[in-house]
Amino acid sequence: MNTENPLLNFTGLPPFSQIKPEHVEPAIDQILNDNRQQLDDLLESCTTPDWHNLVEPIEDMMDRLSAIWSPVSHMNSVMNSDELRDAYNACLEKLSAYYTELGQNEQLFKAYKTLANSPAYAKLDEAQTKVIQNELRDFHLSGIDLSAEEKQRYREIMQQLSRLTSKFGENVLDATQAWSKHITSESDLCGLPDTAIALLKQQAENDNKEGWLLNLEFPSYYPVITYADNRDLRREMYETYVTRASDEGPNAGEWDNSPVMEEILALRHEVAQLLGFNNYAERSIATKMAMSTDQVVQFLQELADKSLPIAKQELDQLTAFATKEHHLKELEAWDIAYYSEKLRQTEYKLSQEEVKPYFPAQQVTEGMFAVVGKLYGISITQKSGIDTWHEDVQFYEIKDSHGHVRGQFFLDLFARANKRGGAWMDECISRKKRNETIQTPVAYLTCNFTPPVGDDPALLTHNEVETLFHEFGHGLHHMLTKIDYTSVSGISGVAWDAVELPSQFMENWCWEREALDLFASHYQTGEKIPDDLYQRMKAAKNFQSAMQMVRQLEFSLFDFRMHRDYDPEKGAQVYALLDEVRQQVAVLQPPSFNRFPHSFSHIFAGGYAAGYYSYKWAEVLSADAFSAFEESHIFDPQTGQRFLQAILEKGGSREPMELFVDFRGREPTIDALLRHSGLAA
């Protein structure tokens, strides 16, 4: 073993400060070689397969590979550099080849089948049998039934897809980072809140410039599109943002994702057909809660039918407000956020800026810990002296009421250069049990909030507070698991359309007075949110909620139909289909230069292909789950324990519908979601 390579000789938490790009490929090569050799030895000696001589050693091999790849993949997202990117991409193909090889290993498949049909199988617990059922299903989804020639083609496709999806994300990151605008006259920024202007000034100083510097990171883009009185500036930023990585806009053609999207969709369709599905949407739901593609489309259509009439009314109200009261000739895409904010202020006397002083980031974080402490009887403390990838990163530990460590997590809150946009939770280490020892699960929680400016703490909008709670919900699902087998512990093995349940569920506490009082207080005076402000926040909660709903339905239907209706003769026809979906469910028709799909990383670079509907699907589950607390009390410890035990602790060890029924006593209904969204009438 290479003792010089930190990726090969650490146990526990990754040694981030020691990991260099040149360590990555040798470490992956070494671990893949080791794993292949170990598997050969295992299959040779394993004459009567059981849990301990087959499944457990394979889980251990996969866990070791994951432990090495996880910090590399994470650093590629949060500390991207040319060298790391090259090393990461070089390994993607090797990993893809390795996973396909495992999924097509006849001898291994036979061993699992033998185990599933043996007397030993009957003695396994529920989670263990789920592991084996998932494995057998995944062998078929990896092409175990194909001819030698088809298997080879499957391997090629999977490698190409891993390369292309990575390329898609890189193009978006590069296009986002390529644009900036130097402002020398403060009058150009008229309307922007002081906090935003201070951030833009800080960005200019960091770049050794006088004045103010705009970029396409969300903390810079959002204030301009929402508050800037300068309409030309709003248009310029909007156009640059919605044409990233495309054939339009200021960097047209430079990081164009058009051919990448075309190829991804063609390959997904081909691989689905190779496996015996009609299209990739069918392949996608083979591992999800939804039973058929028709069920998904009908579900989205039902929500659209309930939302569209109200969304049209909301848009009519906004248009009248902008054109009649503000004498705008025509409401354009770059006016929507600006006049919506003005309308919100007029209707509810409320702006996001007014609530920000009550949400200093550190205080919100600690308050969130207090909320889950009351719900689940856990305590969370910060630990110092932990090796991280950036000085802003904090590290925490979760203990239960008996003082047992249940999980740990890294928290990386602020936007910066070379960090992928958005917010996400990812696994660093998964829970497993070996020789009576529990491996503590560890998570990464990543956001892109506005960093502290000057001497003030970082202040969050209420939307950002919801984002933090959302990602922490995912984190709790990963960390509070009590399942001891890595492939179904935490979020592993959870159907993708149920995986958003714990995250969306957590958002509800951001709206409850009793929860807010645990963490929302003015960073200068310490006063709690005044009742008048809270009532205005509640009143404005569903402001334009139907417009937001149809926007999400547009993304979901577009994604699902693009994968379901793909025709190799015609190609992707991305924009023709998007227009068709918009005619059906959208109230806003963006300008012709809008290239939103070119940066739709969720479906082209993330795990949401033909699965973006999962957000809405799981929102039905989460709204219904939260209504159990509304029926008792939002901090009812019994209901909290039931949710902890039925959902969070069970991971992917059982089907999500069974777990939901265990918690709720019945299957979910759509009613709570419509009520929470103000669409019930």
Would you report the helix, strand and coil content of the chain in percent, each value rounded to 5? Answer: 60, 10, 35
Contacts of 136 (CB under 8 A, 6+ apart): 109, 112, 113, 116
CA–CA dist 501, 668 (Å, integer): 12
pLDDT tens per residue, range 615-629:
999 999 999 999 999
666 band by pLDDT with thresholds 50, 70 and 90:
very high
pLDDT tens per residue, range 355-384:
999 999 999 999 999 999 999 999 999 999
Residue 74 has a pLDDT of 98
pLDDT at residue 352 is higher than 90: no
Over range 406-428, report the average pLDDT. Answer: 96
Over range 473-502, report the average pLDDT. Answer: 97
650 band by pLDDT with thresholds 50, 70 and 90:
very high
pLDDT tens per residue, range 503-562:
999 999 999 999 999 999 999 999 999 999 999 999 999 999 999 999 999 999 999 999
Residue 105 has a pLDDT of 97
Report helix, strand or coil for 10: coil
pLDDT at residue 124 is higher than 80: yes
Half-sphere exposure at residue 643, Cβ-oriented, CA atoms within 13 angstroms: 28
pLDDT at residue 299 is higher than 90: yes
Angle at 538 between CA 533 and CA 539, to 5 degrees: 95
Check if 156 is active-site. Answer: no
pLDDT tens per residue, range 66-113:
999 999 999 999 999 999 999 999 999 999 999 999 999 999 999 999
pLDDT at residue 209 is higher than 60: yes
680 band by pLDDT with thresholds 50, 70 and 90:
confident
Catalytic residue among 239, 341, 466, 471: 471
The mean pLDDT of the chain is 96
pLDDT tens per residue, range 150-182:
999 999 999 999 999 999 999 999 999 999 999
pLDDT at residue 210 is higher than 60: yes
Residue 3 has a pLDDT of 66
pLDDT at residue 681 is higher than 90: no
Report helix, strand or coil for 646: helix
Residue 1 has a pLDDT of 53
Residues in the chain: 681
In 3D, which of 114, 151, 159, 164 has the Cα closest to residue 135? 114
DSSP code for 596: G
Report helix, strand or coil for 502: helix
Residue 2 has a pLDDT of 61
Question: Residue 443 pairs with which residues in a beta bridge?
Answer: 409, 427
Residue type, 310: I
Half-sphere exposure at residue 638, Cβ-oriented, CA atoms within 13 angstroms: 5
- SS3 sequence of 41-108: HHHHHCCCCCHHHHHHHHHHHHHHHHHHHHHHHHHHHHCCCHHHHHHHHHHHHHHHHHHHHHHCCHHH
The two structure tokens encoding residue 135: 């494995």
DSSP strand pairing (405-414 vs 442-449) = parallel
The two structure tokens encoding residue 224: 């301009």
pLDDT tens per residue, range 238-252:
999 999 999 999 999
CA–CA dist 91, 198 (Å, integer): 41
DSSP code for 456: S
DSSP code for 442: E
CA–CA dist 432, 13 (Å, integer): 15
Distances from the Cα of 224 to the Cα of 162, 238, 341, 656, angstroms: 35, 9, 12, 42
CA–CA dist 254, 297 (Å, integer): 35
Q: What is the pTM of this model?
A: 0.95
Residue 351 has a pLDDT of 85
Share of the chain above pLDDT 70, in %: 99
Residue 584 has a pLDDT of 96
For residue 296, count other CB atoms closer than 10 A to its CB: 28
In 3D, which of 77, 176, 82 has the Cα closest to residue 419? 77
Which CB contacts under 8 angstroms, 24+ apart, belong to 507-512?
A: 507/466, 507/469, 507/470, 507/473, 507/622, 508/622, 508/626, 508/629, 508/634, 508/676, 509/371, 509/469, 509/634, 510/462, 510/465, 510/466, 510/469, 511/537, 511/538, 511/541, 512/634
376 alpha carbon, distance to own chain's centre? 24
For residues 287 and 495, is the Cβ–Cβ distance under 8 A?
A: yes
For residues 613 and 497, is the Cβ–Cβ distance under 8 A?
A: yes
For residues 599 and 172, is the Cβ–Cβ distance under 8 A?
A: yes
Question: Residue 395 pairs with which residues in a beta bridge?
Answer: 410
Distances from the Cα of 212 to the Cα of 180, 238, 514, angstroms: 10, 18, 40
Residue 530 has a pLDDT of 96
Structural domains in the chain plus CATH codes? 16-173 (1.10.1370.40), 179-242 (no CATH), 258-348+545-612 (1.10.1370.10), 357-541+615-676 (1.10.1370.40)
Residue type, 212: W
